[in-house]
Structure 1
Amino acid sequence: MAIESLHRMSDSPHVACVWRGRASGFEAMTSVATSTWELVFWEEGGRGHAAVRGPETAASSVELAGDSESLGITFAHGTVLPHLPRLVDSAVESPHVTERTFVLGGREWEVPGFDDAEALVARLARAGVISRDPLVDEVVWGGIARVGTRSVQRRVAAATGLTQGAIRQIERAREAALLLGGGAAPLDVVHRLGYYDQPHLARSLQRFIGRTATQLQEGRGTMSLLYKTGPPAGS
Protein backbone atom coordinates (compact mmCIF):
# COMPACT_ATOMS: atom_id res chain seq x y z
CA MET A 1 0.00 0.00 0.00
CA ALA A 2 1.19 3.54 -0.74
CA ILE A 3 0.41 6.28 1.80
CA GLU A 4 1.44 9.88 1.32
CA SER A 5 0.94 12.51 4.00
CA LEU A 6 1.81 16.13 4.55
CA HIS A 7 1.16 18.41 7.50
CA ARG A 8 1.80 21.98 8.55
CA MET A 9 1.50 23.76 11.86
CA SER A 10 -0.96 26.65 12.16
CA ASP A 11 -0.80 30.17 13.58
CA SER A 12 -4.54 30.14 14.35
CA PRO A 13 -5.28 30.01 18.10
CA HIS A 14 -7.97 27.45 17.34
CA VAL A 15 -5.83 25.10 15.24
CA ALA A 16 -2.76 23.01 16.05
CA CYS A 17 -2.15 21.42 12.67
CA VAL A 18 -3.59 20.95 9.18
CA TRP A 19 -2.83 17.73 7.32
CA ARG A 20 -3.71 15.88 4.14
CA GLY A 21 -3.14 12.33 3.00
CA ARG A 22 -3.59 9.97 0.10
CA ALA A 23 -3.75 6.18 0.25
CA SER A 24 -4.00 3.42 -2.35
CA GLY A 25 -4.27 -0.33 -2.06
CA PHE A 26 -5.12 -2.25 1.12
CA GLU A 27 -3.43 -2.35 4.50
CA ALA A 28 -4.11 -2.30 8.22
CA MET A 29 -2.93 1.01 9.68
CA THR A 30 -2.32 1.77 13.35
CA SER A 31 -4.20 4.86 14.47
CA VAL A 32 -2.17 6.27 17.36
CA ALA A 33 -3.72 7.95 20.41
CA THR A 34 -4.37 11.68 20.25
CA SER A 35 -5.58 14.17 22.84
CA THR A 36 -7.15 16.67 20.44
CA TRP A 37 -10.34 17.03 18.40
CA GLU A 38 -10.25 16.90 14.60
CA LEU A 39 -12.47 17.95 11.72
CA VAL A 40 -11.77 15.45 8.95
CA PHE A 41 -12.79 15.34 5.29
CA TRP A 42 -12.21 12.33 3.06
CA GLU A 43 -13.21 10.93 -0.29
CA GLU A 44 -13.64 7.21 -0.73
CA GLY A 45 -15.17 5.39 -3.66
CA GLY A 46 -16.10 8.69 -5.28
CA ARG A 47 -18.12 9.81 -2.27
CA GLY A 48 -17.27 12.67 0.08
CA HIS A 49 -17.43 12.44 3.87
CA ALA A 50 -16.89 14.84 6.78
CA ALA A 51 -16.75 14.11 10.49
CA VAL A 52 -15.72 15.51 13.85
CA ARG A 53 -13.51 13.07 15.75
CA GLY A 54 -12.82 13.30 19.45
CA PRO A 55 -9.61 12.36 21.29
CA GLU A 56 -8.47 8.75 21.02
CA THR A 57 -7.17 7.32 24.29
CA ALA A 58 -5.45 4.21 22.89
CA ALA A 59 -3.92 2.96 19.68
CA SER A 60 -6.24 1.02 17.38
CA SER A 61 -6.10 -0.77 14.05
CA VAL A 62 -7.86 0.71 11.01
CA GLU A 63 -8.29 -1.12 7.70
CA LEU A 64 -7.70 0.99 4.60
CA ALA A 65 -8.96 -0.33 1.28
CA GLY A 66 -8.96 1.18 -2.19
CA ASP A 67 -7.96 4.71 -3.09
CA SER A 68 -8.79 7.56 -0.71
CA GLU A 69 -7.84 11.18 -0.08
CA SER A 70 -8.25 13.00 3.21
CA LEU A 71 -7.83 16.41 4.80
CA GLY A 72 -7.82 17.10 8.52
CA ILE A 73 -7.93 20.12 10.81
CA THR A 74 -6.50 19.23 14.21
CA PHE A 75 -7.81 21.68 16.79
CA ALA A 76 -5.68 23.12 19.57
CA HIS A 77 -6.37 22.02 23.13
CA GLY A 78 -9.22 24.17 24.42
CA THR A 79 -11.06 24.48 21.11
CA VAL A 80 -14.52 22.95 21.48
CA LEU A 81 -17.70 22.44 19.50
CA PRO A 82 -20.38 23.41 22.05
CA HIS A 83 -23.24 21.75 20.18
CA LEU A 84 -21.59 18.32 20.35
CA PRO A 85 -21.04 16.00 23.34
CA ARG A 86 -17.48 15.14 24.35
CA LEU A 87 -16.52 12.61 21.69
CA VAL A 88 -13.81 10.62 23.45
CA ASP A 89 -12.98 7.56 21.31
CA SER A 90 -15.87 8.36 18.97
CA ALA A 91 -16.91 10.58 16.08
CA VAL A 92 -19.95 12.27 14.54
CA GLU A 93 -20.26 12.31 10.76
CA SER A 94 -21.83 15.23 8.88
CA PRO A 95 -25.40 14.40 7.83
CA HIS A 96 -24.95 15.84 4.35
CA VAL A 97 -21.79 16.18 2.26
CA THR A 98 -21.34 17.14 -1.38
CA GLU A 99 -18.24 17.67 -3.45
CA ARG A 100 -18.05 21.27 -2.22
CA THR A 101 -20.08 21.54 0.99
CA PHE A 102 -20.79 19.84 4.31
CA VAL A 103 -23.12 20.45 7.24
CA LEU A 104 -21.91 21.26 10.75
CA GLY A 105 -23.86 22.85 13.58
CA GLY A 106 -27.02 22.88 11.49
CA ARG A 107 -25.48 25.03 8.75
CA GLU A 108 -23.85 24.39 5.40
CA TRP A 109 -20.16 25.23 4.94
CA GLU A 110 -17.70 25.04 2.07
CA VAL A 111 -15.20 22.19 2.24
CA PRO A 112 -11.76 23.81 2.73
CA GLY A 113 -8.47 23.15 1.03
CA PHE A 114 -5.10 22.42 2.62
CA ASP A 115 -4.00 26.06 2.37
CA ASP A 116 -7.20 27.80 3.50
CA ALA A 117 -8.41 25.61 6.38
CA GLU A 118 -7.99 28.47 8.85
CA ALA A 119 -10.48 30.60 6.90
CA LEU A 120 -13.16 27.97 7.54
CA VAL A 121 -12.21 27.79 11.22
CA ALA A 122 -12.49 31.58 11.52
CA ARG A 123 -16.00 31.47 10.03
CA LEU A 124 -16.99 28.66 12.39
CA ALA A 125 -15.73 30.70 15.34
CA ARG A 126 -17.62 33.83 14.28
CA ALA A 127 -20.80 31.77 13.95
CA GLY A 128 -20.34 30.21 17.39
CA VAL A 129 -19.99 26.68 16.00
CA ILE A 130 -16.61 26.44 17.73
CA SER A 131 -15.29 28.28 20.77
CA ARG A 132 -12.03 28.34 22.68
CA ASP A 133 -10.93 28.29 26.31
CA PRO A 134 -7.32 29.57 26.16
CA LEU A 135 -6.61 28.41 29.72
CA VAL A 136 -6.81 24.77 28.60
CA ASP A 137 -4.02 24.98 26.03
CA GLU A 138 -1.89 26.93 28.50
CA VAL A 139 -2.18 24.52 31.43
CA VAL A 140 -1.74 21.44 29.24
CA TRP A 141 1.80 22.62 28.50
CA GLY A 142 2.64 23.54 32.08
CA GLY A 143 1.33 27.10 32.35
CA ILE A 144 0.19 28.46 35.70
CA ALA A 145 -3.55 29.11 35.90
CA ARG A 146 -5.03 32.03 37.82
CA VAL A 147 -7.93 29.91 39.02
CA GLY A 148 -8.15 27.01 41.47
CA THR A 149 -7.10 23.46 40.70
CA ARG A 150 -10.66 22.15 40.65
CA SER A 151 -11.74 24.86 38.25
CA VAL A 152 -8.83 23.98 35.95
CA GLN A 153 -9.76 20.29 36.06
CA ARG A 154 -13.38 21.06 35.19
CA ARG A 155 -12.44 23.31 32.29
CA VAL A 156 -9.93 20.86 30.84
CA ALA A 157 -12.45 18.02 31.08
CA ALA A 158 -15.22 20.17 29.57
CA ALA A 159 -13.06 21.15 26.60
CA THR A 160 -11.37 17.83 25.88
CA GLY A 161 -13.24 15.05 27.67
CA LEU A 162 -9.89 14.08 29.21
CA THR A 163 -7.97 14.83 32.39
CA GLN A 164 -4.71 16.80 32.34
CA GLY A 165 -2.89 13.62 33.30
CA ALA A 166 -4.36 11.67 30.38
CA ILE A 167 -3.46 14.43 27.92
CA ARG A 168 0.12 14.54 29.14
CA GLN A 169 0.51 10.77 28.99
CA ILE A 170 -0.73 10.70 25.40
CA GLU A 171 1.43 13.62 24.31
CA ARG A 172 4.50 12.18 26.03
CA ALA A 173 4.04 8.86 24.24
CA ARG A 174 3.72 10.66 20.91
CA GLU A 175 6.92 12.60 21.64
CA ALA A 176 8.66 9.36 22.61
CA ALA A 177 7.59 7.76 19.32
CA LEU A 178 8.98 10.70 17.36
CA LEU A 179 12.30 10.54 19.21
CA LEU A 180 12.64 6.79 18.71
CA GLY A 181 11.68 7.10 15.05
CA GLY A 182 14.43 9.70 14.74
CA GLY A 183 17.04 7.29 16.07
CA ALA A 184 17.11 8.04 19.81
CA ALA A 185 17.98 5.20 22.18
CA PRO A 186 15.17 4.01 24.49
CA LEU A 187 17.17 4.79 27.62
CA ASP A 188 17.77 8.35 26.40
CA VAL A 189 14.02 8.74 25.81
CA VAL A 190 13.31 7.44 29.33
CA HIS A 191 15.56 10.10 30.88
CA ARG A 192 14.53 12.91 28.55
CA LEU A 193 10.78 12.49 28.99
CA GLY A 194 10.67 11.39 32.62
CA TYR A 195 9.60 7.77 32.37
CA TYR A 196 10.41 5.66 35.44
CA ASP A 197 12.31 3.05 33.45
CA GLN A 198 12.30 1.24 30.10
CA PRO A 199 9.37 -1.06 31.01
CA HIS A 200 7.31 2.06 31.82
CA LEU A 201 8.21 3.46 28.38
CA ALA A 202 7.35 0.13 26.72
CA ARG A 203 3.90 0.01 28.34
CA SER A 204 3.17 3.58 27.31
CA LEU A 205 4.21 2.94 23.70
CA GLN A 206 2.11 -0.20 23.47
CA ARG A 207 -0.97 1.50 24.87
CA PHE A 208 -0.86 4.82 23.04
CA ILE A 209 1.21 4.12 19.90
CA GLY A 210 0.70 0.41 19.29
CA ARG A 211 4.40 -0.16 18.63
CA THR A 212 7.51 -1.28 20.48
CA ALA A 213 10.61 0.88 20.68
CA THR A 214 12.38 -1.44 18.22
CA GLN A 215 9.52 -1.26 15.71
CA LEU A 216 9.58 2.54 15.88
CA GLN A 217 13.34 2.67 15.43
CA GLU A 218 13.12 0.37 12.42
CA GLY A 219 10.10 2.16 10.93
CA ARG A 220 7.96 -0.97 10.80
CA GLY A 221 4.28 -0.79 9.88
CA THR A 222 1.97 2.02 8.85
CA MET A 223 0.81 4.56 11.42
CA SER A 224 -1.43 7.60 11.39
CA LEU A 225 0.22 11.01 11.34
CA LEU A 226 2.61 11.79 14.19
CA TYR A 227 3.84 15.31 14.86
CA LYS A 228 4.91 17.40 17.81
CA THR A 229 1.96 19.40 19.18
CA GLY A 230 3.77 21.26 21.93
CA PRO A 231 6.37 20.90 24.68
CA PRO A 232 7.07 17.33 25.80
CA ALA A 233 4.43 16.30 28.31
CA GLY A 234 5.58 14.59 31.49
CA SER A 235 3.43 12.85 34.04
Structure 2
Amino acid sequence: MPEHKPPDTLMLGTIHTPLEVELHGGVAGRRSGGVSEYFYSKPGEVSTAYPCYNTIIGALLRTRKIEMSISHIVRLSDSPLVEEVKHGRTERAATTIRPAECCWHLVLIRYNGGAELRIVGPLTIATPLSYPEGAELLWIKFRLGAFMPRLPLKSFLDTEKSLPDATSQSFWLDGSTWQYPSYENADTFVEWLVRKEILVSDPVVKAALQGQPQEVADRTLRHRFLRATGLTQKQIQQFQRAQLAWTLLQQGVSILDTVEEAGYFDQPHLTRALKHWLGHTPAQIVRMEKTAVIL
Protein backbone atom coordinates (compact mmCIF):
# COMPACT_ATOMS: atom_id res chain seq x y z
CA MET A 1 0.00 0.00 0.00
CA PRO A 2 1.13 3.62 -0.44
CA GLU A 3 3.19 5.06 2.39
CA HIS A 4 0.54 7.70 3.11
CA LYS A 5 -2.56 5.56 3.38
CA PRO A 6 -5.93 7.35 3.52
CA PRO A 7 -7.48 7.15 6.99
CA ASP A 8 -10.12 4.53 7.69
CA THR A 9 -12.64 7.21 8.62
CA LEU A 10 -12.53 8.82 5.17
CA MET A 11 -15.62 8.03 3.15
CA LEU A 12 -18.42 9.40 1.06
CA GLY A 13 -18.67 13.16 1.16
CA THR A 14 -19.98 16.02 -0.93
CA ILE A 15 -19.38 19.84 -0.77
CA HIS A 16 -17.67 23.27 -1.85
CA THR A 17 -15.51 26.13 -0.57
CA PRO A 18 -16.77 29.43 0.97
CA LEU A 19 -19.34 30.73 -1.43
CA GLU A 20 -22.67 32.49 -1.67
CA VAL A 21 -25.47 30.08 -2.51
CA GLU A 22 -29.21 30.30 -2.68
CA LEU A 23 -31.72 27.84 -1.34
CA HIS A 24 -34.04 26.36 -3.98
CA GLY A 25 -36.85 24.41 -2.38
CA GLY A 26 -34.54 23.24 0.38
CA VAL A 27 -31.72 22.37 -2.00
CA ALA A 28 -28.55 24.39 -2.00
CA GLY A 29 -26.84 23.97 -5.32
CA ARG A 30 -26.66 24.81 -8.98
CA ARG A 31 -26.94 22.97 -12.27
CA SER A 32 -25.11 23.84 -15.46
CA GLY A 33 -24.34 21.90 -18.60
CA GLY A 34 -25.77 18.66 -17.24
CA VAL A 35 -23.59 18.81 -14.12
CA SER A 36 -25.13 19.39 -10.72
CA GLU A 37 -23.26 20.72 -7.70
CA TYR A 38 -24.70 20.24 -4.22
CA PHE A 39 -23.33 21.86 -1.11
CA TYR A 40 -23.06 20.39 2.38
CA SER A 41 -22.02 21.98 5.62
CA LYS A 42 -19.57 21.57 8.40
CA PRO A 43 -21.51 20.33 11.46
CA GLY A 44 -22.36 23.17 13.80
CA GLU A 45 -22.45 25.75 11.01
CA VAL A 46 -25.43 24.58 8.99
CA SER A 47 -27.80 21.64 9.03
CA THR A 48 -27.37 18.74 6.64
CA ALA A 49 -29.98 16.98 4.51
CA TYR A 50 -29.63 13.42 3.29
CA PRO A 51 -30.29 11.26 0.24
CA CYS A 52 -33.82 10.74 -0.97
CA TYR A 53 -34.70 8.29 -3.72
CA ASN A 54 -30.98 7.78 -4.20
CA THR A 55 -30.38 11.47 -4.99
CA ILE A 56 -28.55 13.92 -2.76
CA ILE A 57 -31.06 16.70 -2.10
CA GLY A 58 -28.90 19.32 -0.49
CA ALA A 59 -28.25 21.32 2.64
CA LEU A 60 -30.37 23.62 4.77
CA LEU A 61 -28.57 26.93 5.15
CA ARG A 62 -28.76 29.37 8.07
CA THR A 63 -26.39 31.93 6.56
CA ARG A 64 -25.63 33.12 3.06
CA LYS A 65 -21.85 32.89 3.43
CA ILE A 66 -20.64 29.60 4.87
CA GLU A 67 -17.43 27.58 4.85
CA MET A 68 -17.99 24.24 3.23
CA SER A 69 -16.23 20.97 4.02
CA ILE A 70 -16.15 19.18 0.67
CA SER A 71 -16.61 20.27 -2.94
CA HIS A 72 -17.86 17.95 -5.63
CA ILE A 73 -19.44 17.67 -9.04
CA VAL A 74 -21.78 14.84 -9.98
CA ARG A 75 -23.03 13.48 -13.29
CA LEU A 76 -25.19 10.67 -14.55
CA SER A 77 -23.55 7.70 -16.22
CA ASP A 78 -23.96 6.20 -19.67
CA SER A 79 -23.80 2.75 -18.08
CA PRO A 80 -27.14 1.14 -17.11
CA LEU A 81 -25.35 -0.36 -14.10
CA VAL A 82 -24.18 2.97 -12.66
CA GLU A 83 -26.42 5.55 -11.01
CA GLU A 84 -23.96 8.43 -10.84
CA VAL A 85 -20.30 9.43 -10.83
CA LYS A 86 -18.91 12.09 -8.49
CA HIS A 87 -15.58 13.81 -8.11
CA GLY A 88 -14.64 16.00 -5.18
CA ARG A 89 -12.12 17.22 -2.66
CA THR A 90 -12.26 17.70 1.10
CA GLU A 91 -11.60 21.37 1.81
CA ARG A 92 -11.34 20.93 5.58
CA ALA A 93 -11.59 18.18 8.18
CA ALA A 94 -15.10 17.60 9.49
CA THR A 95 -17.42 15.10 11.16
CA THR A 96 -21.05 14.49 10.26
CA ILE A 97 -23.68 11.74 10.20
CA ARG A 98 -23.71 9.46 7.19
CA PRO A 99 -27.14 8.04 6.35
CA ALA A 100 -27.74 4.43 5.42
CA GLU A 101 -27.34 3.56 1.74
CA CYS A 102 -28.65 0.59 -0.25
CA CYS A 103 -26.27 0.99 -3.17
CA TRP A 104 -22.60 0.09 -3.09
CA HIS A 105 -19.75 2.25 -4.40
CA LEU A 106 -16.23 2.13 -5.71
CA VAL A 107 -14.41 5.02 -4.04
CA LEU A 108 -10.97 6.16 -5.20
CA ILE A 109 -9.15 8.17 -2.53
CA ARG A 110 -6.02 10.19 -3.25
CA TYR A 111 -4.42 11.58 -0.10
CA ASN A 112 -0.91 12.80 0.74
CA GLY A 113 0.53 11.39 -2.48
CA GLY A 114 -1.06 7.94 -2.12
CA ALA A 115 -4.02 6.34 -3.89
CA GLU A 116 -6.43 3.66 -2.75
CA LEU A 117 -9.55 2.14 -4.30
CA ARG A 118 -12.18 0.91 -1.86
CA ILE A 119 -15.33 -1.11 -2.23
CA VAL A 120 -17.88 0.53 0.03
CA GLY A 121 -20.74 -1.83 0.75
CA PRO A 122 -24.39 -1.12 1.50
CA LEU A 123 -24.97 0.63 4.82
CA THR A 124 -27.88 -0.54 6.96
CA ILE A 125 -27.71 2.16 9.64
CA ALA A 126 -26.76 5.84 9.92
CA THR A 127 -23.29 6.26 11.41
CA PRO A 128 -20.83 9.08 12.23
CA LEU A 129 -18.44 10.01 9.44
CA SER A 130 -15.14 11.87 9.71
CA TYR A 131 -12.76 12.95 6.97
CA PRO A 132 -9.48 14.91 6.80
CA GLU A 133 -8.57 17.97 4.79
CA GLY A 134 -6.99 17.65 1.36
CA ALA A 135 -8.28 14.31 0.07
CA GLU A 136 -9.35 13.93 -3.56
CA LEU A 137 -12.30 11.57 -4.04
CA LEU A 138 -13.97 9.74 -6.91
CA TRP A 139 -17.25 7.92 -6.28
CA ILE A 140 -18.86 5.43 -8.67
CA LYS A 141 -22.31 4.56 -7.35
CA PHE A 142 -23.79 1.34 -8.73
CA ARG A 143 -27.47 0.70 -9.23
CA LEU A 144 -29.29 -1.88 -7.18
CA GLY A 145 -28.88 -5.28 -8.83
CA ALA A 146 -25.37 -4.63 -10.18
CA PHE A 147 -22.68 -6.69 -8.45
CA MET A 148 -19.36 -8.51 -8.81
CA PRO A 149 -20.00 -12.28 -8.54
CA ARG A 150 -16.51 -13.01 -7.19
CA LEU A 151 -16.79 -10.29 -4.54
CA PRO A 152 -20.08 -11.03 -2.71
CA LEU A 153 -21.74 -7.88 -1.44
CA LYS A 154 -22.79 -9.59 1.78
CA SER A 155 -19.11 -9.57 2.78
CA PHE A 156 -19.06 -5.78 2.36
CA LEU A 157 -22.22 -5.05 4.32
CA ASP A 158 -21.73 -2.06 6.65
CA THR A 159 -18.04 -1.95 5.84
CA GLU A 160 -15.49 -0.96 3.21
CA LYS A 161 -12.44 -2.82 1.98
CA SER A 162 -9.44 -1.74 -0.07
CA LEU A 163 -8.45 -3.45 -3.30
CA PRO A 164 -4.70 -4.26 -3.38
CA ASP A 165 -2.61 -1.69 -5.22
CA ALA A 166 -0.25 -2.76 -8.01
CA THR A 167 1.53 0.56 -8.70
CA SER A 168 0.87 4.17 -7.81
CA GLN A 169 -1.60 4.30 -10.70
CA SER A 170 -3.11 0.81 -10.73
CA PHE A 171 -4.69 -1.89 -8.59
CA TRP A 172 -5.39 -5.62 -8.63
CA LEU A 173 -8.85 -6.99 -9.41
CA ASP A 174 -9.81 -10.52 -10.45
CA GLY A 175 -6.21 -11.51 -11.09
CA SER A 176 -5.38 -8.56 -13.36
CA THR A 177 -4.05 -5.05 -12.93
CA TRP A 178 -6.33 -2.11 -13.73
CA GLN A 179 -5.60 1.57 -14.09
CA TYR A 180 -7.37 3.72 -11.52
CA PRO A 181 -10.50 5.23 -13.09
CA SER A 182 -11.07 8.97 -13.39
CA TYR A 183 -14.17 11.15 -13.43
CA GLU A 184 -13.88 11.40 -17.21
CA ASN A 185 -13.30 7.71 -18.05
CA ALA A 186 -15.40 6.05 -15.32
CA ASP A 187 -17.98 4.86 -17.87
CA THR A 188 -15.29 3.23 -20.00
CA PHE A 189 -13.83 1.62 -16.88
CA VAL A 190 -17.25 0.15 -15.98
CA GLU A 191 -17.77 -1.01 -19.57
CA TRP A 192 -14.55 -3.02 -19.40
CA LEU A 193 -15.63 -4.55 -16.10
CA VAL A 194 -18.83 -5.69 -17.83
CA ARG A 195 -16.94 -7.03 -20.88
CA LYS A 196 -14.69 -9.09 -18.62
CA GLU A 197 -17.81 -10.33 -16.74
CA ILE A 198 -16.41 -8.94 -13.52
CA LEU A 199 -19.51 -6.76 -13.13
CA VAL A 200 -22.97 -8.13 -13.90
CA SER A 201 -26.61 -7.33 -13.19
CA ASP A 202 -29.47 -9.55 -12.06
CA PRO A 203 -32.56 -8.87 -14.25
CA VAL A 204 -34.87 -10.64 -11.80
CA VAL A 205 -33.84 -8.34 -8.97
CA LYS A 206 -34.12 -5.29 -11.22
CA ALA A 207 -37.64 -6.28 -12.27
CA ALA A 208 -38.69 -7.03 -8.69
CA LEU A 209 -37.47 -3.59 -7.59
CA GLN A 210 -39.74 -2.10 -10.26
CA GLY A 211 -42.70 -3.95 -8.80
CA GLN A 212 -42.97 -6.54 -11.57
CA PRO A 213 -44.18 -9.98 -10.38
CA GLN A 214 -41.56 -12.71 -10.63
CA GLU A 215 -42.24 -16.36 -11.38
CA VAL A 216 -39.66 -17.62 -8.91
CA ALA A 217 -40.00 -19.06 -5.44
CA ASP A 218 -39.79 -16.61 -2.53
CA ARG A 219 -36.70 -18.38 -1.25
CA THR A 220 -35.03 -18.07 -4.66
CA LEU A 221 -35.90 -14.38 -4.91
CA ARG A 222 -34.50 -13.74 -1.44
CA HIS A 223 -31.26 -15.49 -2.38
CA ARG A 224 -30.95 -13.42 -5.56
CA PHE A 225 -31.50 -10.18 -3.64
CA LEU A 226 -28.83 -11.09 -1.11
CA ARG A 227 -26.40 -12.01 -3.88
CA ALA A 228 -27.06 -8.93 -6.06
CA THR A 229 -27.53 -6.26 -3.37
CA GLY A 230 -26.28 -7.68 -0.07
CA LEU A 231 -29.71 -6.84 1.34
CA THR A 232 -33.17 -8.35 1.53
CA GLN A 233 -35.97 -6.84 -0.48
CA LYS A 234 -37.64 -5.87 2.80
CA GLN A 235 -34.58 -3.92 3.95
CA ILE A 236 -34.53 -1.98 0.68
CA GLN A 237 -38.23 -1.20 1.01
CA GLN A 238 -37.74 0.02 4.59
CA PHE A 239 -34.93 2.30 3.49
CA GLN A 240 -36.95 3.70 0.59
CA ARG A 241 -39.90 4.32 2.90
CA ALA A 242 -37.64 6.28 5.26
CA GLN A 243 -36.45 8.33 2.29
CA LEU A 244 -40.05 9.02 1.34
CA ALA A 245 -40.82 10.16 4.89
CA TRP A 246 -37.82 12.50 4.81
CA THR A 247 -39.10 14.03 1.57
CA LEU A 248 -42.60 14.51 2.93
CA LEU A 249 -41.29 16.24 6.04
CA GLN A 250 -39.00 18.40 3.93
CA GLN A 251 -41.98 19.43 1.83
CA GLY A 252 -43.84 20.61 4.92
CA VAL A 253 -46.11 17.61 5.49
CA SER A 254 -46.90 17.26 9.20
CA ILE A 255 -45.38 14.43 11.20
CA LEU A 256 -48.75 12.75 11.73
CA ASP A 257 -49.66 12.99 8.05
CA THR A 258 -46.22 11.64 7.15
CA VAL A 259 -46.89 8.63 9.37
CA GLU A 260 -50.01 7.88 7.32
CA GLU A 261 -48.68 8.71 3.85
CA ALA A 262 -45.43 6.78 4.28
CA GLY A 263 -47.22 3.76 5.78
CA TYR A 264 -45.90 3.73 9.35
CA PHE A 265 -47.92 2.33 12.26
CA ASP A 266 -47.57 5.40 14.46
CA GLN A 267 -45.24 8.29 15.26
CA PRO A 268 -42.82 6.22 17.40
CA HIS A 269 -42.50 3.78 14.49
CA LEU A 270 -41.62 6.67 12.14
CA THR A 271 -39.16 8.10 14.66
CA ARG A 272 -37.32 4.80 15.10
CA ALA A 273 -37.10 4.28 11.35
CA LEU A 274 -35.76 7.74 10.51
CA LYS A 275 -33.28 7.66 13.38
CA HIS A 276 -32.04 4.25 12.26
CA TRP A 277 -31.81 4.84 8.51
CA LEU A 278 -31.13 8.59 8.24
CA GLY A 279 -29.74 9.57 11.64
CA HIS A 280 -32.41 12.13 12.59
CA THR A 281 -35.82 12.10 14.22
CA PRO A 282 -38.87 13.63 12.49
CA ALA A 283 -38.80 16.57 14.90
CA GLN A 284 -35.14 17.25 14.07
CA ILE A 285 -35.90 17.18 10.35
CA VAL A 286 -38.79 19.62 10.80
CA ARG A 287 -36.60 21.96 12.85
CA MET A 288 -33.93 21.89 10.16
CA GLU A 289 -36.54 22.88 7.60
CA LYS A 290 -37.74 25.76 9.77
CA THR A 291 -34.21 27.14 10.07
CA ALA A 292 -33.80 27.28 6.30
CA VAL A 293 -34.20 30.87 5.13
CA ILE A 294 -34.26 31.91 1.50
CA LEU A 295 -32.06 34.99 1.24
TM-score (norm 2): 0.67
Percent identical = 34
Unaligned residue ranges in structure 2 (runs of 5+): 1-41, 43-68, 290-295
**1:10-89 pair list within 5 angstroms:** 10-85=77-152, 86=154, 87-89=156-158
Q: Larger deviation: 73-82 or 181-190? A: 181-190
Deviation (angstroms), 1:137: 2.0
Distance 1:97 1:204, change over 3 A: farther
Inter-partner Cα distance in structure 2 for 1:98 and 1:29: 33
* 8 A contact 1:206–1:212 mirrored in 2: yes
Distance in 2 (CA, whole Å) between partners of 1:212 and 1:131 is: 37
Instruction: State yes or no: 1:125 paired with 2:194.
Output: yes
Which amino acid is the alignment partner of residue 50 of structure 1?
A: L
1:206 to 2:275 alignment:
yes
Name which structure has the greater RCO, CA cutoff 8 Å, separation 6+. Answer: 1
1:62-89 deviation digits (Å, cap 9, x = unpaired): 2212222211111111111111132211
- Whether contact under 8 Å (1:181, 1:218) holds in the other structure is no
Q: Give, in angstroms, the shift of residue 35 of structure 1.
A: 1.3
1:231 aligned partner: none
SS at match of 2:85: strand
Moved more, 142-151 or 187-196: 187-196
Aligned-residue CA RMSD (Å)? 2.3
Contact in 2 for aligned 1:34/1:171 (Cα 8 Å):
no
3-state SS in 1 of match to 2:80: coil
Q: Does 2:241 match 1:138?
A: no
Give the letter for the 1:142 counterpart: G
TM superposition shift of 1:180: 3.2
Q: AA paired with 1:154?
A: H
Give deviations 1:182-225, integer Å, cap 9, x for gaps: 544333433332222222211111101111224334549xxxxx
Q: Distance in 2 between matches of 1:152 and 1:188?
A: 33
Give the match for residue 197 of structure 1: 266
Q: Say if 2:71 and 2:91, in contact at 8 Å, map to a contact too.
A: no
The answer for the alignment partner of 1:156 in structure 2 is 225
The one-letter amino acid of 1:193's match is A
TM-fit CA distance, 1:97: 6.0
Does the Cα contact within 8 Å between 1:29 and 1:64 map onto a contact in 2?
Answer: no
Q: CA deviation at 1:168?
A: 1.1
CA contact (8 A) 1:3 1:23 kept: yes
User: C-alpha distance in 1, partners of 2:240/2:77?
Assistant: 18
Q: Secondary structure at the match of 1:175?
A: helix
Q: Which residue of the partner structure matches residue 230 of structure 1?
A: none
8 Å CA contact 1:49, 1:97 repeated in 2: no
**What are the Cα deviations for residues 102-140 of structure 1, in whole angstroms up to 9, with x where unaligned?**
322222222223243221111001112111111112212
Matched pairs, number: 220
Higher-Rg structure is: 2
2:244 maps to which residue? 175
Structure 1 residues 206 and 22: CA distance shift in structure 2, 3 A: same
Q: Give, in angstroms, the shift of residue 93 of structure 1.
A: 0.4
Q: Are 1:39 and 1:74, in contact at CA under 8 Å, matched by a contact in 2? A: yes
1:43: how far off? Answer: 1.6
